[in-house]
Structures are given as C-alpha cells and as structure tokens.
Amino acid sequence: MNYSKDQPYNDLPLLLPDPSIWEKLSIYKKLAEARAALAELKGRLPIIPNPLMLINTLVLQEAKDSSTIENIFTTNDKLYKAFSSTAANTDPATKEVLRYREALWNSFSELKSPKDFSLQLAVKIFKLITEKKEEVRTGQVYIGNSFQVVYTPPAPGNILLEKLNNWFDVAVNKKDIDPLLKMAILHYQFEAIHPFSDGNGRTGRILNVLYLCLQKLLDLPVLYLSKYILDNKTDYYRLLREVTENNSWENWILYILEAVKQTSILTLQKVNAIFDNYTSVLEKVKVEANDIYSRELIDVIFSQPYCKISILEEQKIASRNTASKYLKRLEELGILTSETVGRENLYKNISLYAILSNS
Ligand SMILES: Nc1ncnc2c1ncn2[C@@H]1O[C@H](COP(=O)(O)OP(=O)(O)OP(=O)(O)O)[C@@H](O)[C@H]1O
Ligand SMILES: [Mg+2]
C-alpha cells in the first residue's frame, strides 16, 4: 500500500479488517472489563426516576468537553446559565456548545429503529453542530496544523460515498463481531473517512453514543467519551495515525475500550451521586417543608443545574406566584441559591451543580 500523508487516502480499506486484528487476549480482557462496567451503568440508570435529570445534566457536560477538544471553550457556569435563561448574554462558544447538546438530543429522539442509523442522521448532526447548509463534503480536506499535514482523507465523490455506505452497512448489519469492539473500529474509520468539511470529531463522538443505544448497550445516550479523549488527547491523535500508517489496530482498540471502561465507572459515580442527593433533598423537603412538597417539584430542580419560575409554570407544578414562593422556600432550606441574570432570577441547585462541576 502506497500511503502518503499528503495524498488523499483513497485506498482506506473498507470494513471490517481481518479478525486477526482483534482476536487477541489483551483485547478480549479489556473488552470484558469495558462491557462489565458499561452493563453496570446501564443497569443502574433506571433508579433515576426522570430521564431528563440525566439528559440535561450529563449531556451538557459532554457538549462542553466535546467542544473543548475543538478549542471551543466555555465554562460550566456560563453554559448552565445559558441553558436555563433567555436573558443570559450567551457568547458564541456557549451557543456552539448548546448546539452540540441539541444535535445529540435531536438525533437520539429520531433513532427509533436500526434503519434510522443512517447517513442522513449523520448529516443532520453535522448541520446542527456547524450550522452549515452543505452535506457530505465535495472538496478535499487535510488534517494537521498550519505547519504540516498529518493525514489526508479520501477524495470526495464516489470513493467517499462508497466508504460511507460501507460504514453504515457494517454499523447496522454486521453481527458476527462484538458490538463494543465494532464501535472502536467504526470510530477510527469514521474519522479516517472524514465525511464533512468540519465537525467530524464531534459528529463521530455523537454517533458513538447513538450506536451504543442502537446496539442496546445503553437505553439512554449518557456515555460520553469526550472527557477521556480530552484528558488523553495526544494518544488519541497518535493512535489514529498509527492505525493508518502501521495498521496498529490493537492499541487503538485498547484505547477506546479503556475509555469506555473508565467513562462508565465515572458516569456511574455521577448517577449515584445525583440519586443520593435527589433522595436526601426529597426527604428534607418532606420533613422540613411538607406544605410545598411534591415529587414533581424535586424532579424539576434536578432536571437542570439552574431553575426558574417559568420552568415550574411550564411543568404545571405551580402558578407564577406559588412557583416563586416554592423556589424561595427551597432557598431558605439551603437547597437552592438565587442569582439575578439580566432581568431573570435563576436558582442554582447547589448539590447538583457541585456534582456536575466536579469532574
Ligand atoms: N490522523 C488522523 N486520522 C484520522 N482522523 C484524525 C486524525 N487526526 C485527527 N483526526 C480526527 O479529526 C477530528 C477533527 O476533525 P474536525 O475538525 O472536522 O472535527 P471537529 O469536531 O471540528 O473537531 P474536534 O474533533 O477537534 O472537536 C479529530 O477529533 C479526530 O477524530
Ligand atoms: Mg474542526
């Protein structure tokens, strides 16, 4: 194979590689660990009564981490405020992170059956993230920095489309390989194909979690590898390159499996912490402010880090005046703390905020 990093890699092999690539003890060991951690997380998720409590919180974190990989920086606080507030003066980076969250959530909502896991879905994610109107790229792109090219993906047109069609076909239809192993291989291949003019990393990371849901390894899209990738970014880029240059699949697969394992463990800890805090707040309000107690009220203050009167109104928990009274009472109890943003009063859930910020 005449691979050259400055030339379009039109010979990028179609999937799957030869099984000898993954039929290795080291990989099977790591696979067993990753699958066990992921299964434990999947089994634990139903303890959280309202899925929004996980979606709005963990997804916001993922949106932030995934965008940081692309050097789009925002802070937890800006992001959480912008999510709940119409008044927050949202900067472009925060907006971009919120678009990532929207892309993730919208695409998950559309994933009803395997046939929905398609190129159209990927295009939709790309468009939502980047706000571009185009679809699959029609020009050549290069990966690297202004000093050097490190990789040149396949040429646009039929070559690119053939590889993309192969990608979705294998993702959905190929069954004689462990699905988690397949995810590792698919993720390399997606990035190597580089179907879009930008946003390939972020689109690829959203496809990873949707794929886990598709394969029923998760019921909710809550496993986000971006934090791990961010913390191990140099290895991530190096290992991608080494698959291309040396066919070094083993280390790449081990990296992704380790990412799945560690992220599952971390997410499980977060889910447990959210649940513990939720139940202790539930108890506290029941005992100390029984007149305002309802489970729906506690659910809603755990459904995003910042709450406000209109959210309680929208959720039909209380009228405007009563909602205001409820939030003030929760503040007196030390559960929430209020802050004025623009002309709005936002109420921060102190314990939830701490759990989410502490990563
Ligand atoms: N040598 C390589 N071979 C294949 N893919 C690579 C290589 N180096 C980096 N990549 C992929 O390209 C992605 C960056 O591409 P692009 O800028 O289109 O995506 P992004 O979502 O905007 O950025 P990012 O992933 O940095 O957030 C990286 O996330 C990585 O997955
Ligand atoms: Mg980019």
Domain of 302, CATH number, reads: 1.10.10.10
Residue 11 counted as domain residue? no
Residue environment code for 170-199, b if the CB has 16+ CB neighbours within 10 A, otherwise e: bbbeeeeebbbbbbbbbbbbbbbbbbbbbb
**Closest-lying ligand to the alpha carbon of 196?**
1
pLDDT at 109: 95
When pLDDT is cut at 50, 70 and 90, the band that residue 1 belongs to is low
Bridging pattern class, strands 336-341 and 344-349 = antiparallel
Q: For residue range 111-121, list pLDDT tens digits in order.
A: 999 999 999 99
- pLDDT value at 52 more than 90: no
Between the CA of 254 and the centroid of ligand 2 the distance, in Å, is 25
Residue nearest to atom 9 of ligand 1 (CA): 237
Question: Span 193-219, mean pLDDT?
Answer: 97
Residue 340 counted as domain residue? yes
- pLDDT value at 359 more than 70: no
Q: Is 265 in the same domain as 308?
A: no
Write out residues with Cβ below 6 Å of ligand 1. 69-70, 143, 150-151, 191-192, 198-202, 204, 237, 240-241, 244
* SS3 assignment, position 176: coil
Q: Is 309 in the same domain as 236?
A: no
Question: Span 41-69, mean pLDDT?
Answer: 86
The domain boundary residue, chosen from 220, 246, 269: 269
Residue 219 counted as domain residue? yes
Q: Is 194 in the same domain as 84?
A: yes
Residue nearest to atom 12 of ligand 1 (CA): 201
Q: Is 287 in the same domain as 220?
A: no
The domain boundary residue, chosen from 228, 248, 269: 269
Between the CA of 343 and the centroid of ligand 2 the distance, in Å, is 35
Q: For residue range 74-111, list pLDDT tens digits in order.
A: 888 888 888 888 766 788 888 888 899 899 999 999 99
Domain that holds residue 346: 271-357
Residue 69 backbone dihedrals phi, psi, to 5 degrees? -60, -35
Question: Span 203-221, mean pLDDT?
Answer: 96
Q: Is 172 in the same domain as 237?
A: yes
Residue 82 counted as domain residue? yes
Q: For residue range 182-203, list pLDDT tens digits in order.
A: 999 999 999 999 999 999 999 9
Q: Is 281 in the same domain as 342?
A: yes
Q: Could you give the percent of the chain with pLDDT greater than 90?
A: 81
Provide the mean pLDDT of the chain.
94
When pLDDT is cut at 50, 70 and 90, the band that residue 65 belongs to is confident
pLDDT at 68: 85
Stated length of the chain: 359
Q: For residue range 312-352, list pLDDT tens digits in order.
A: 999 999 999 999 999 999 999 999 999 998 888 999 999 99
Between the CA of 175 and the centroid of ligand 1 the distance, in Å, is 27
When pLDDT is cut at 50, 70 and 90, the band that residue 167 belongs to is very high
CB 243 within 8 A of CB 188: yes
Question: Span 266-271, mean pLDDT?
Answer: 94
**Closest-lying ligand to the alpha carbon of 129?**
1
Residue 3 counted as domain residue? no
**Closest-lying ligand to the alpha carbon of 71?**
1
Could you tell me which residue, 123 or 51, shows the higher pLDDT?
Answer: 123
Q: Domain of 240: which CATH number? A: 1.10.3290.10
Q: Is 263 in the same domain as 314?
A: no
> Which of 136, 225, 237 to mutate for ligand 1's pocket (most ligand atoms within 8 Å of CB)?
237
Q: Is 141 in the same domain as 211?
A: yes
* SS3 assignment, position 317: coil
pLDDT at 292: 97
Q: Is 106 in the same domain as 187?
A: yes
CB 309 within 8 A of CB 327: yes
The pair of three-digit structure tokens given for residue 158, joined into one six-digit string: 């039929």
> Which of 7, 72, 99, 143 to mutate for ligand 1's pocket (most ligand atoms within 8 Å of CB)?
143
Q: Is 286 in the same domain as 249?
A: no
> Which of 150, 152, 226, 240 to mutate for ligand 1's pocket (most ligand atoms within 8 Å of CB)?
240
> Which of 160, 191, 203 to mutate for ligand 1's pocket (most ligand atoms within 8 Å of CB)?
191
Residue 47's closest CA among 210, 212, 276, 258? 276
**Closest-lying ligand to the alpha carbon of 202?**
1
Domain count within the chain: 2
Residue 122 counted as domain residue? yes
Q: Is 326 in the same domain as 349?
A: yes
pTM for this model (two decimals): 0.94
Index of the ligand 1 atom closest to the CA of residue 129: 21
Residue 14 counted as domain residue? no
Q: What is the DSSP letter of 320?
A: H
Task: Provide the CA 143 distance to its chain's centre, in angstroms.
Answer: 23
Index of the ligand 1 atom closest to the CA of residue 198: 18
Residue 166 counted as domain residue? yes
The domain boundary residue, chosen from 269, 296, 319: 269
Between the CA of 225 and the centroid of ligand 1 the distance, in Å, is 14
Question: Span 271-297, mean pLDDT?
Answer: 96
Between the CA of 189 and the centroid of ligand 1 the distance, in Å, is 12
Question: Span 271-289, mean pLDDT?
Answer: 96
Q: Is 102 in the same domain as 135?
A: yes
